[in-house]
Structure 1
Amino acid sequence: MASLSLHLVLLFSIFFITFFTPSASENQLAEMPLNDDVLGLVVFKSGLQDPFSHLTSWNEDDNSPCSWSFVQCNPLNNRVTHLTLDSLNLSGKIGRGLEKLQHLQLLSLSDNNLTGSIPPYLSLLPSLQSLNLSLNSLSDRIPLSLSNLTSSNLNFLDLSDNSLSGPLDDLLFGNCLSLRSLLLSGNSLEGPLPSTLLHCVSLNTLNLSNNHFSGAPVFENGIWALTKLRTLDLSLNSFSGPVPKGIFRLHNLKDLRLYGNHFSGEIPSDVGFCPHLKRLDCGSNLFDGSVPESIRRLNSLTFLDFSNNLLSGEFPQWIGESISLEHLDFSSNGLTGNFPMPMGELKALQYLSLADNRLSGSIPDSLVYCSELNVIRLRGNGFNGSIPEGLFDLGLEEMDLSWNQLGGTIPPGSSKLFESLRVLDLSRNMLTGDIPAEMGLLSNLRYLNFSWNNLHSQLSPELGYFQNLTVLDLRNNKLYGSIPEDLCDSGSLGVLQLDANLLAGPIPDAIGNCSSLYLLSLSHNNLSGSIPKTISKMRDLKILNLEYNELSGEIPQELGELENLLAVNISYNQLIGRIPAGGIFPNLDQSALQGNLGICSPKLKGPCTMNVPKPLVLDPNAYGNQMNGHNPGNEPSNAARFRHHRFLSVSAIVAISAAGLIAMGVMVISVLNISTRRRLSFVDSALESMCSSSSRSGTPSVGKLIMFDSGSSQSWINNPELLLNKAAEIGGGVFGTVYKAPLEGRMVGIKKLVTSNLLQHPEEFDREVRVLEKARHPNLMTLLGYYWTPQLQLLVSDYEPNGSLQAKLHERSPSSPPLSWSNRFKIILGTAKGLAHLHHSFRPPIIHYNIKPSNILLDENCNPKISDFGLARLLTKLDKHVINNRFQSALGYMAPELACQSLRVNEKCDVYGFGVLILELVSGRRPVEYGEDNVVILSDHARVLLEQGNALDCVDPSMNEYPEEEVLPVLKLALVCTSQIPSSRPSMAEVVRILQVIKTPVPRRMEIF
């Protein structure tokens, strides 16, 4: 028994020494009973789950693992050199066994479900040259111990697409001379980049995309040292400031991606000094200025993207010389001018997007020579003329020419287009004529939108030939005739919108074949007959709009079985009878039912008409002769005549009485309406209709609450009385009063605009409001919808429960902590970005007109959101009374030139108000303060202190700590913004750039003032 115990102790000692001590030499390994590689791999396997048994060949009884699956060995010493376990659905953690593979050169565990952190002992593999742990679920920080790997033989490191987080240690790449590829994309890494990254002079691929890295790239002044760099991907981070100097002097650079950051300033003029550059992606940043002409020197360029920036000036006419281009995207900028005429030279061009600029003129016919073109997007410009017919002869997959001024007819398609086209959007133009019958041959078409044109055509039966169409939008044209019965033969249609046309006749029963529809909108036509019962077959239907037609009969009870139906509007038809008992119908708002005098609903005051057979009435006098035999001949008896006259008299009395009751009812209802309007009339009026729809003439509906999110607009309010009672006033100003109102658990803000005959006609109002709705930005309040009548105008927007900057800065209670400097700077920078978006992303620019703390709302993280922007666009004239009130309500914020000129509104007025806002945030004081004997103007007070060298005396004493190196330049910036001379004030794009430079660390900050 003692000998057995001793034997077990010896075995345990051998295992402990073998596994937990450094590796032995080659001679010692030969003497060991177990192979280190076998032991290490078996232990590594024990920590994994292998659901598909890929590792069954790994047998611990083998003397060598060289015959195992996914393992490669050096034939000279039979030691493992390559371990490749990619895409095997393995899960678990990376166990310690791998540290025994001292000759391992390549380790690849990509595309599995591994969890936990990156084991630090991987740095103990001295021969490792390639490490790939991508596409797993690894978490925590990247261990500093990996620096031992980068200082040895490692040349490939891929940790992309995991859940790694935290900043990178600055020493992580202290000695990375051999590293050639570094891939860290698709994680949650944050903070600045390590300065030691510049030591990786052998790098040819650096991918840091899709993380949270921030600040200016640390290699700003040293990237020229990475002379071998061919691919640099910094996209989808939070880098800011100008593009690093020298980045375009890297002569080997082929692929540069800066997409989705906050880079600002002009595009460096030396962009053309990368002779081998093939891909340049700078989209979704804050670049301004014009497009550098040096780009025309990049003869190898195939991909060029500057979309979603602040570029201005004329679109480069020389772009047609870049004959290698395959992808060209300048969408969402402020570029002007005409379409380059020699575009036909771009024979390799496949993707073209110039959408949402200010381009004008005609679309050149030369574009039809771009034979490889797949996608063309020109929406949101001012192009006129006709559509080049040759475009419909190309093999396009997507064509978007919407929101222009194109006229003429729609060209017929070709066989090549029939096979390729998937998206066709020609909406919001001035097209005329017929819808070509050839449209039905577009077998792969998924989206077709011809809405808001002047097409005068019948709905062709060929439209039912679409096999894959999911959206068909033909609203607001002059289409006539009936709805084809085979419109839904394909079975794939999800959206059908035929509103505001001249369609007549019944809705065909075959509409029930549209089983996949979730939106059916046929409003504002001349449709007649009954609502088909077959609509109940559309089990996915969510929205049904049939208002403003001539439909009659009862609403089919079967429609109550549609469980997914969220919104219905059947108002202003000739419907009668009960509404369906199930589904959404019992909860429909009055506005969805009104205008049908025969519908039975407690929400409607009119008469109720039931569609039942009329009762059979027998006249007893009709058989008097035969029954009684007292009155031969054809003359009625005196008693019969008396009874007949008495019946007519009663009928007349009933009719007169009914008329009187109706008149009294109208009077009572009118009195009640007047009384109700005195209780928050703005909400009561808004509740008259909740469904957004267009009028027959194509103009916006009057007296309708238009919600831009049509999928939810009709289902927001289930209890109008509850909303009416809970609406509360939360603020006001010269332009109107602001209320908050709960809508199904969500609070929204409702602004009631002034109504002294200052507002435009509904068409103009609708157009301007939709411009404001497009102003989407993280630092702008989102506009949700509007309401318009000649007497009442409302704007509906998001609501921020954290209140305004006015409350946080000037109205806080003594127990509430003051705003920290970091939050104040965040508010300053965020407000600047929001204003820059309004000024530079729209033509003409959107002027806020009234910048002050009460119009800056804060979310829970003190991120600012600008409200009440663009109201000046909604006013066509202002009388003297409103001007005077506006100055009194914004005293101290208004630019001085507005007081002495005839209302010259421009961007520099907003810059002045923003400068005053900065002074308020720095000082904690109001822009104008009244003492017993004097009046203190904050901007003048700060300017005097700065000239005396005591600028920091302006700082709010409630801030205990603040960085002087940030506060002082911010204060100087505020005084520049409040210059008395408008031309001396910077643009908001320049303000954003200056603030981003101020926030950078001190050693890299440039002198601003």
Structure 2
Amino acid sequence: MNMKNLSSLMLFWVVLLLVPSFPVRSLSPSLNDDVLGLIVFKADIQDPSQKLSSWNEDDDTPCNWFGVKCNPRSSRVTELNLDGFTLSGRIGRGLLQLKFLRKLSLARNNLSGTISPNLAKLESLRIIDLSENSLSGFIPDDFFKQCGSLRSISLANNRFSGKIPVSLGSCATLADINLSWNQLSGSLPAGIWGLNGLRSLDLSGNLLEGEIPKGIEALNNLRSINLSKNRFTGQVPDGIGSCLLLRSIDLSMNLLSGSVPNTIQKLSLCSYLNLSMNSFVGEVPEWIGEMKNLETLDFSMNKFSGQVPESIGSLNLLKVLNFSANGLNGSLPASMENNVNLLALDFSQNLMTGDLPGWIFKSGLNEVSLSENKLGVNSSNPISASPRTSLQKIQVLDLSHNSFSGELTYDIGVLSSLQFLNLSRNSLIGPVPGTVGELKALDVLDLSHNQLNGSIPMEIGGAFSLKDLRLNANFLGGKIPTSIENCTSLYTLIISQNNLSGPIPAEIGKLNNLENVDLSYNNLAGTLPKQLANLPHLLSFNISHNNLQGELPAGGFFNTISPTAVSGNPSLCGSAVNKSCPAVLPKPIVLNPNSSSDSISEEFPTTVGHKRIILSISALIAIGAAAVIVVGVIAITVLNLRVRSSTSRSAAALTFSAGDDFSHSPTTDANSGKLVMFSGEPDFSTGAHALFTKDCELGRGGFGAVYRTVLRDGRSVAIKKLTVSSLVKSQEEFEREVKKLGKIQHSNLVALEGYYWTPSLQLLIYEFVSGGSLYKHLHEGSVGNYLSWNDRFSIILGTAKSLAHLHQSNIIHYNIKSSNVLIDGSGEPKLGDYGLARLLPMLDRYVLSSKIQSALGYMAPEFACRTVKINEKCDVYGFGVLVLEVVTGKRPVEYMEDDVVVLCDMVRGALEEGRVEECVDGRLQGKFPAEEAIPVMKLGLICTSQVPSNRPDMGEVVNILELIRCPSEGQEDLG
């Protein structure tokens, strides 16, 4: 980036941070109202993507600005469409200058704060869309009182709370209302039914309660109503049947009760009817067949009883039918053969009986779910497939939790589009057909809890898209097929409770996506393949109650495997089963003094003569043991002499070797480990036996405990004992990454001085920082001993510089928090624990969030979203939280008696209400410059933006902080 661009960017950030509200009067007096209004609007928001870079206050008209449309005759702004521009900040009063604005659309941004009660009073405004932002607070009571010609309002997907304003009923021109997915509460204003022109009403996803008021019949233009996911009670008003133009009704996920109003049968244009997840009772009405235009009918999770009416077959356009989780009984009506357009069918969790009707296999269903019923299949008439063309569209087939019997003899390969097949918990018999290998699109195969026999077919490898395979609780025998290695997407393999035999195939070790494996309660034998230790995502591996033997694989998941997961295998050994593995002994040696050669015979003689000496096994063991004891005594004596004569070795069993390419060449002792110091000789006055005591412990974190020890020259060092050994890379990779970290030098970074390695113990040796952590200074210091404003600013700036240096070295910290910022004797900050994520074999989000990013409140929101890339911006977020913590003296998350206060939200709310100075740490008692503290807090909020691209990089943060401290110098430089 050249200096001119950098200067422009810096000026942009400084305007946002330093100017509380844009000085309108300072603009050129020749500017028209639209230019003035939009420039003032821009001053209140942040535009990290520079979408509004074309907005120039020097222009005479805004008609050529990005996102702006004008009337070609008057050149006045009529539309402002900034959807999805990644804008943040608040919606200021500048928009009120746009007197001819007809459409305002700011959807899909990150705008926050409240909305002005005057916004809807713009007489020309027809459409307001502020959906999918972070707006909060109450909707003003008089927001709709003078709504001019407003026809459409959408405040969906925000954080509005409180009641729906009664004034909504006075906005007679409204045709579309969408207040969905907020936190609105209270009852539904009856005045809404007076909006005769209303066509669409969506209040779903709120906390509304009470009964649905009567009078809905007045909405004779209503096409769509959605009141789902609220707390409405009582019955549905009969008047709903008078809204003859209704095409979509969604009253799902409420507390409604009673029967379905008979008047609904009049709604002949209705194509979508969803009453699921309520408490409706009675039988499914026969008149439902009169609603000829229905495409989706969902009565699931209610209390309907009785039989499915024959009239269902009259719904020729029906695509989705869901009657699951009710109390329906009887069989499926034969008339449903006429529902030729069905794509999804779910009658699961009912009390239905009878045979599975053949018409299911004649339709073009995409999804069939009849689980948890009592449908039966005649054992003499096994499930069979219809002609190949009829089932090619089926994607989901769920017949689980029934009483199906018979063999799986049909050609499953016909179901070429099948993605989900669940026939579990039935009484199916016979083998698993090999044609399952023809299901190339199959993700889930569940045949568990049946009476299947035979072997797992070798053809199973043909279903290479499989992610979840469950064949447990059957009578399957034979070996686990090696072709399973072709199912490279497999993450769940459960084949327990069968009669499987033979070894566990090494090919399972190639399935790198495996997370859950259960092979328990079989007759598997042999040793466990070492390749299993290479599975990176493994969360559970159960091999209990088999006939396996030998030692468990070393490394990875198996270092921490639960004893219950390996129990019931008498011949297994290792720490998990609390049984040491026997040493490998040579064959018995027979010495033959009569032999003419020096060779040793391995055969026992048939007779024992006076010239032939045979040493028994027990004698050989005794001799060997004696020899070992003698050698051990000699070795111990030699070692004691060496220890006493060497001043460069510690009293511990560690072998210290200085150097590497930083100084000297190291030596490695396989029995004791390897120590490398990046500069100087290893000169410890205490050894490992003195390191890991409670008295020497400085603290603990997500990676391990830190201890203090002293070198012979009196200099202290801090030693981190890593406790994530099961996640640490191999020695070669570990050393390579640590050496990189050792080369990173910065005055605000805790210096890494060396390391120690064994397969079971890894130590990192750091410089010792005497002043303690920032966390202790902020939250555990005495009342009279607190950090001044200058101290705090220096800590923020120094930490920012250290992070910027790390990012320039392509290192992400991942663990920014106040306990990882140490204060040296001169008050300078030093950032520690950097780069430790590089020691892990993979940057898995679970590992990062549970092992490393353990401090609540500092974690960037993208850790919860697998589709968002994790990069340096997650450090920027943690730094932003740290800034607010330093300025306010409050923890990132404070637990009150009846509330939880998130620091970012608290400061952001105070900023919006104009009382941000109240957030500064009370211990400073006014001893701080507001012209520095407020911009620093604003910077912290910008860094904690929910959208990663909205956050500045750390180099920009350093420059901004330096401008805040010396604004005049910075502005001169920019000029």
TM-score w.r.t. length of structure 1:
0.55
- Residue number in structure 2 paired with 1:524: 521
Answer yes or no: is 1:83 the counterpart of 2:75.
no
Q: Contact (CA 8 Å) 1:356, 1:380: kept in 2 or not? A: yes
SS at match of 1:459: coil
Structure 1 gap ranges (5+): 1-14, 21-30, 580-584, 586-592, 594-599, 602-607, 627-632, 651-859, 862-1009
Contact 1:179 1:203 in 2 (8 A): yes
Give the number of aligned pairs.
586
What aligned pairs does 1:553-952 form with structure 2 within 5 A after superposition?
A: 553-556=550-553, 558-559=554-555, 562=558, 569-579=565-575, 585=576, 593=577, 600-601=578-579, 610-613=582-585, 616=588
User: Which residue in 2 is equivalent to 1:855?
Assistant: none
Task: Answer yes or no: is the 8 Å Cα contact 1:539–1:562 preserved in 2.
Answer: no
Conserved in 1, the CA contact under 8 Å of 2:550 and 2:581?
no
Whether contact under 8 Å (2:287, 2:311) holds in the other structure is no
Determine which of 319, 322, 332 is the counterpart of 2:312: 319
CA distance in 2 between counterparts of 1:287 and 1:84 reads 44
On the 8 A contact 2:552/2:558 being kept in 1, the answer is no
Structure 2 distance, partners of 1:635, 1:454, is 61
- Deviating above 6 A after TM superposition, structure 1's stretches of 4 or more consecutive aligned residues are 15-20, 619-623, 637-641
**Which runs of 5 or more residues in structure 2 are unaligned?**
1-21, 599-605, 623-896, 899-975
> Residue 300 of structure 2: SS of its match in structure 1?
coil
Written as runs of structure 1 = structure 2, the 5 A alignment for 1:376-395 is 376-385=368-377, 386-390=382-386, 393-394=390-391, 395=393
Shift of 1:75: 2.4
Q: How does 1:240-639 map to 2 (within 5 A)?
A: 240-371=233-364, 373-385=365-377, 386-390=382-386, 393-394=390-391, 395-413=393-411, 417-418=415-416, 420-556=417-553, 558-559=554-555, 562=558, 569-579=565-575, 585=576, 593=577, 600-601=578-579, 610-613=582-585, 616=588
Which residue identity lines up with residue 150 of structure 2 in the other structure?
L
* 2:204/2:226 contact within 8 Å kept: yes
Contact 1:367 1:391 in 2 (8 A): no
CA shift digits 1:375-421 (9 cap, x unpaired): 11000001111434129741111100011111222254466622x21
Counterpart of 1:404 in structure 2: which amino acid?
A: N
Query: Aligned runs of 1:66-145 on 2, under 5 Å?
Result: 66-145=63-142
| Counterpart amino acid of residue 613 in structure 1 | L
Aligned mate of 1:209, from 195, 204, 210: 204
RMSD: 3.2
What SS does the corresponding residue of 1:547 show, helix, strand or coil?
A: coil
How many angstroms does 1:153 deviate by? 0.6
Q: What pairs up with 1:132-211 in 2 under 5 angstroms?
A: 132-150=129-147, 152-169=148-165, 171-211=166-206
The amino acid that maps onto 2:516 is L
CA contact (8 A) 1:463 1:487 kept: yes
Q: For 1:421-446, what per-residue CA distance to the aligned partner results, in whole angstroms no more than 9, with x for missing partners?
A: 11100111111222222211211111
How big is the shift at 1:131?
A: 0.5
* Alignment CA distance shift 1:388-1:412 (3 Å): closer
State the shift of 1:561 in Å: 5.4
**Which structure ranks higher in relative contact order (CA pairs < 8 Å, sequence separation ≥ 6)?**
2
**Structure 1 18/226 Cα, relative in aligned 2: closer, same or farther at 3 Å?**
farther
* 1:961-976 mapped onto 2 (5 Å cutoff): none
Counterpart amino acid of residue 254 in structure 2: N
Q: How much has 1:560 moved relative to structure 2?
A: 5.8
Match of 2:59? 62
Stretch moving more, 407-416 or 461-470: 407-416
Counterpart CA distance in 2 for 1:61 and 1:635 is 115
Q: Partner of 1:34 in structure 2? A: 31
Task: Pick closer, same or farther for the CA change 1:564–1:200 going to 2, 3 Å.
Answer: farther
**1:253-277 CA-partner distances (Å, limit 9, x unpaired):** 1100011000011222222121111
Q: For the residues of structure 2 that align with 1:634 and 1:348, how far apart are their CA atoms?
A: 90
Cα distance, 1:172 vs structure 2: 2.1
CA contact (8 A) 2:509 2:534 kept: yes
Paired with 1:535 and 1:97, the residues of 2 have a C-alpha distance of 64
| Contact 2:180-2:203 within 8 A present in 1 as well | yes
Structure 1 residues 329 and 622, CA gap change in structure 2 (3 angstroms): farther
Instruction: State the Cα distance separating 1:448 from its structure 2 match.
Output: 0.4
CA distance in structure 2 between the partners assigned to 1:173 and 1:300 by the alignment: 32
Q: Which amino acid aligns with 1:402?
A: S
Letter in 2 for 1:480: G
Partner of 1:379: helix, strand, or coil?
coil
1:246–1:174 distance in 2 versus 1, CA, 3 Å: closer
Q: 1:244 to 1:546 in 2, by over 3 A?
A: same
Equivalent position of 2:705 in the other structure: none
Structure 1's 406 and 205: CA in aligned 2 closer, same or farther, altered over 3 A?
A: same
1:555 shift after superposition: 2.5
How far residue 293 of structure 1 moved from its aligned partner, in angstroms, is 1.4
Displacement of 1:251 in angstroms is 0.8
Contact 2:145 2:171 in 1 (8 A): no
**SS class of match (1:479):** coil
> Quick check: 1:235–1:258 contact (8 Å CA) kept in 2?
yes
TM-score, normalization by structure 2:
0.57
CA–CA separation in structure 1 for the residues paired with 2:608 and 2:195: 121
Distance apart, 1:620 and its partner CA = 9.7
User: Compared with structure 1, are the counterparts of its residues 568 and 509 closer, same or farther at alpha carbon in structure 2 (3 Å cutoff)?
Assistant: farther
Letter in 1 for 2:396: E
Task: Give CA deviations for 1:228-257 in whole Å, capped at 9, x if unaligned.
Answer: 111000001111111123112211111000
Instruction: Tell me which amino acid in the other structure corresponds to 1:401.
Output: L
Q: Is the 8 A contact 2:286 2:310 kept in 1?
A: no
- Cα displacement (A) at 1:128: 0.7
1:565 Cα shift? 5.1
Distance verdict in 2 for CA 1:19–1:165, change over 3 Å: farther
Kept after mapping to 1: 8 A contact 2:548/2:572: no
Using a 3 Å threshold, how does the CA distance of structure 1 residues 60 and 559 change in structure 2: closer, same or farther? closer
Q: Does the aligned pair in 2 maintain the 1:118–1:138 contact within 8 Å?
A: yes
SS of corresponding position for 2:405: coil
Find the aligned partners of 1:567 and 1:553 in 2 and give their Cα distance.
Answer: 15
Structure 1 residues 60 and 201: CA distance shift in structure 2, 3 A: same
Query: Is the Cα contact below 8 Å between 2:431 and 2:453 reproduced in 1?
Result: yes
Q: Distance in 1 between matches of 2:482 and 2:142?
A: 71
Deviation for aligned residue 1:186:
0.9
Distance 1:561 1:453, change over 3 A: closer
Answer yes or no: is the 8 Å Cα contact 1:384–1:404 preserved in 2. Answer: yes
Tell me if structure 1 keeps the 8 A contact 2:592–2:612.
no
Offset of residue 465 of structure 1: 2.1
Following the alignment from structure 1 to structure 2, what is the Cα–Cα distance between the partners of residues 391 and 51?
58
Provide the residue aligned with 1:789 in structure 2: none
